[in-house]
Amino acid sequence: MIVIKTEPELELMRASARILKETFDEVGKNVRPGVTTGELDAIAEDYIRSHEGIPAFKGYQGFPGTICSSVNEQVVHGIPGPRELEEGDIIGVDMGVIHREFYSDATRTYAVGEVSNEARQLMRVTKEALDLGIDKVRPGNHLSDISHAVQKHAESHGYSVVKVLVGHGIGRRMHEEPQIPNFGPPGQGPILKPGMVLALEPMVNAGASNVLTLEDNWTFVTVDGKLSCHFEDTVAVTDAGPEILTR
C-alpha cells in the first residue's frame, strides 16, 4: 500500500531532509584525494547525530556504515573503510537520516580532484536523468512515467540503467511502496497523488547494465568494470508538482 502523508508528516520529512542536505554539505567539503571513505563516514555520522538525527543506514539489515561509499565501478552499497580516494576517482555517497521517526534518503556523486571527460559526462547525464524523472512527479502522471524518462535520457547518451536495483517510497520506513524502476514504458503503474513521497535514484552505467555483488555481500559493481554513477533525491508529490525535499 502506498502511504499518503499528511501535511504535518510532510513537515517532519522536510526537517529530516534538511539535516541530510546539511550533512552532504559537510561531506562534500571533505571529498579530496587522500581522504578515506571511513573518514567521510565519521564526518557524516558526527554531523547527523549532533543535529538531532539518527543515521538511517547504520545497522540497517546489518550494514556497518552511516554512508554507502561507492567508488568508480562500484554501483551502490559500498562499505566505508580505509580506502583512500585518488585523483580522478568518482564517489557516490548515499545517506539517510531519521528525525522524529521520519526518513529521508539521497545520494550525491562527487568528482575527486580532476576527473576524466568520460566521468564528468556520466555524472552530468545521470543528474539530468534524475531531474527529468523528478519533473514527472506530478498528480495524474503514472509511476512509470518517471522510469521511462530516466531510461530514455540515459540510453540516448549510450549508457545503460541498472535494472536490479530500484527507487522506493519513503516515510516512517526507509523502504515503502511503491518500487520505482529506472526503466520501462510510460503510462503504467499507480497514478501519482499529492502526499506520496518517493526516493528516486537512477543508477547509470557507462557500459553494460549488469552488476555483480562482491564477497562482502553488500557492494554492487559493474560486470565489465566500467564506471557507474548514482544520484538520488527524496521528492514529494504536491498539487503544484514535485517538491524536492533533499535539495
pLDDT of the residue at 233: 99
Residue 207 lies in a domain: yes
Mean pLDDT in residue range 14-25: 99
Average pLDDT, the chain: 99
pLDDT of the residue at 53: 99
Cis peptide before 178 (omega within 30 of 0): yes
Q: Can you give the residue range of the structural domain that contains 201? A: 7-244
The CATH number of residue 239's host domain is 3.90.230.10
Residue 121 lies in a domain: yes
Burial, 128: exposed, middle or buried (Cβ in 10 Å; 0-12, 13-18, 19+)? middle
Q: Point out which residues pair with 175 in neighbouring strands.
A: none
- Residue written as cell 541498472? 162
- Hey, what's the cell of 152? 530514455
- Structural domains counted in the chain: 1
Residue 2 lies in a domain: no
Q: How confident is the model at residue 57 (pLDDT cuts 50, 70, 90)?
A: very high
Mean pLDDT in residue range 30-43: 99
SS3 of residue 204 by DSSP: strand
Mean pLDDT in residue range 135-142: 99
Residue 57 lies in a domain: yes
Residue 240 lies in a domain: yes
Residue 197 lies in a domain: yes
Contacts of 53 (CB under 8 A, 6+ apart): 16, 19, 20, 23, 97, 98, 99
Backbone phi, psi, residue 180, to 5°: -125, 95
Mean pLDDT in residue range 104-115: 99
pLDDT of the residue at 1: 95
Mean pLDDT in residue range 11-32: 99
Q: How confident is the model at residue 72 (pLDDT cuts 50, 70, 90)?
A: very high
Measured from the Cβ of residue 215, the count of other Cβ atoms closer than 10 Å reads: 6
pLDDT of the residue at 30: 99
pTM (predicted TM-score): 0.97
Residue 181 lies in a domain: yes
DSSP 8-state secondary structure symbol assigned to residue 220: E
Distance CA 216, CA 241 (A): 40
Residue 1 lies in a domain: no
Backbone phi, psi, residue 61, to 5°: 50, 30
* C-alpha torsion sign, points 143, 197, 98, 26: positive
Q: How confident is the model at residue 84 (pLDDT cuts 50, 70, 90)?
A: very high
SS3 of residue 229 by DSSP: strand
